[in-house]
Structure 1
Amino acid sequence: MLRILLADDHEIVRRGLKELLEEQAGWTVCAEAANGREAVERAIQSRPQVAVLDFSMPELNGLEATRRIRQAAPETEVLIFTMHESEELIREVLAAGARGYVLKSDATRQLIPAVESVSRHMPYFSGRVSAVVLDGFLKGRSTQPVALGAERLTSREREIMQLLAEGNSNKAIASRLDLSVKTVETHRAAIMRKLELNSLAEIVRFAVRNHIIQP
């Protein structure tokens, strides 16, 4: 039995993906999540062989969720499922530990072989993503991820930055993460110092530019 976790903040998308995946003999969607934090929790609880993660999710995006899943449940392979195809983003998620990367526009044809491949611990990229990666290789660009700035932050700081960019107050973040407001304020100051940002508006612009949140 191949156990799969689905994480996407759109219920209709999850429903369609679940139907597609469970048409395969011996495959089951053992858990679902509507945001990145839930995805990490469900991965730890259910230990699926494959986690299919949307990149643009609230609370924790697919990049940060991938890092945490690979750290807490290394037996779970991660397949990123997204509309984004920038070379920098692809390299970032691969460096975070994702095994595959499929564009949503290619889902009907390529999701099944992608899940099958990563379940065998083999990489899989949809056609256009392969072309982007190969183009970067042929042009001599480093296979190491480009530092987008957020890499200077701790995991907690990246999490708080996303929540701030999504419009949450310090008090709301403190409640959600079970922290004191003072601790959140300290993290917020560290984020702004490390990224050389001067306002919440600049945090939001940074998050949008680096695909941490959707505009």
Structure 2
Amino acid sequence: MKRYKVIVADDHDLFREGIKTLLKKMNNIVVEGEAKKGSQVVELYKKASPDVVIMDISMPGLNGIEATKEILKYDSTAKIIILSMHDDEEYIGRCLDAGVKGYVIKSESGMELRHTIELVLQGKSYFSHYAQDVVLNRLKNFRTQKNTSVDHPHITKREYQILSLIAQGLTSNAIAEKLFISIRTVETHRTNIMRKLGVKNVVELINKASDLKLV
């Protein structure tokens, strides 16, 4: 029986140990190494050439999305599965754009992760139930955009929500408290919205959003 090498990357020791325990129950899996930082998993990948990387998004230094991009620059065939607490459409979409082969939310079952690993090892891609909805929505929006004006870039539901609150004059701190998310997440969304709309500051953002009838 062929045995597959896996790297586990997560900055929480306890969670990493739990994943390793789960993987030990899979007879064809060998944990080749583990990392706490994005930069570490990139270097470890180059040394170990694993069959699969299981990686969190939120890690010190390079985050999981950035580390994914670095690994795929080195090896375009790399199989990377994101295992994250983030169930937000923006994060899942960014991981999809980065080139990951799978996405599982940490609140889901160990069986879901095992199923994802098995499919990815077969050369397939698999996104857990919630993530599948995001993928399908992005596909639907992409098809819609092809038939509409290019002046209306795709804005996610969460981005619409944050954009509306920005237009109401709320600060990042106030938005974070209202939506029960971190200030850093709010800032990330705002940066992504500004990039998509091609503006450089909040005043331009509100004006452009108004012109496009987004708010």
Q: Which band: TM-score by shorter chain?
A: 0.5 to 0.7
Count of aligned pairs = 155
TM-score under structure 2 length normalisation = 0.65
Contact in 2 for aligned 1:6/1:32 (Cα 8 Å): yes
Structure 1 equivalent of residue 62 of structure 2: 60
Aligned with 2:90 (options 66, 75, 88): 88
**Alpha-carbon distance, 1:94 to partner:** 1.5
Counting only pairs closer than 5 Å after superposition, residues 196-215 of structure 1 correspond to structure 2 as 209-210=187-188
For structure 1, list consecutive stretches of 5 or more residues without a partner in the other structure.
148-204
Contact in 2 for aligned 1:21/1:29 (Cα 8 Å): yes
Counting only pairs closer than 5 Å after superposition, residues 1-215 of structure 1 correspond to structure 2 as 1-139=3-141, 140=143, 209-210=187-188
**Alpha-carbon distance, 1:7 to partner:** 0.1
Q: Which runs of 4+ in 1 moved over 4 A?
A: 139-143, 205-208
**Alpha-carbon distance, 1:141 to partner:** 5.9
Structure 2 equivalent of residue 157 of structure 1: none
Letter in 2 for 1:122: K
Letter in 1 for 2:6: I
**Cα offsets for 1:106-142 (capped at 9, x unmatched):** 1423110111111122111111111222234345566
Change (3 A) 1:142 1:26: farther
| C-alpha RMSD of the superposition | 2.6
**Alpha-carbon distance, 1:15 to partner:** 0.7
**Cα offsets for 1:24-71 (capped at 9, x unmatched):** 112111010011010101111100010001000111101100001111
3-state SS in 2 of match to 1:52: strand
3-state SS in 1 of match to 2:123: coil
Structure 2 equivalent of residue 159 of structure 1: none
Letter in 1 for 2:187: R
Change (3 A) 1:60 1:127: same
Identity %: 35
TM-score under structure 1 length normalisation = 0.65
Q: Which has the higher contact order (CA 8 A, sep 6+)?
A: 1
**Alpha-carbon distance, 1:76 to partner:** 2.4
For structure 2, list consecutive stretches of 5 or more residues without a partner in the other structure.
147-152, 156-182, 190-215
Contact in 2 for aligned 1:92/1:146 (Cα 8 Å): no
Structure 1 equivalent of residue 166 of structure 2: none
3-state SS in 1 of match to 2:108: helix
3-state SS in 2 of match to 1:48: coil
**Cα offsets for 1:165-186 (capped at 9, x unmatched):** xxxxxxxxxxxxxxxxxxxxxx
Separation in 2, partners of 1:11, 1:102: 19
Separation in 1, partners of 2:73, 2:4: 21
Separation in 2, partners of 1:88, 1:58: 20
Contact in 2 for aligned 1:49/1:75 (Cα 8 Å): no
Separation in 1, partners of 2:5, 2:134: 30
**Cα offsets for 1:163-211 (capped at 9, x unmatched):** xxxxxxxxxxxxxxxxxxxxxxxxxxxxxxxxxxxxxxxxxx6676328
Contact in 2 for aligned 1:53/1:62 (Cα 8 Å): yes
3-state SS in 1 of match to 2:30: strand
Separation in 1, partners of 2:154, 2:40: 27
Letter in 2 for 1:16: G
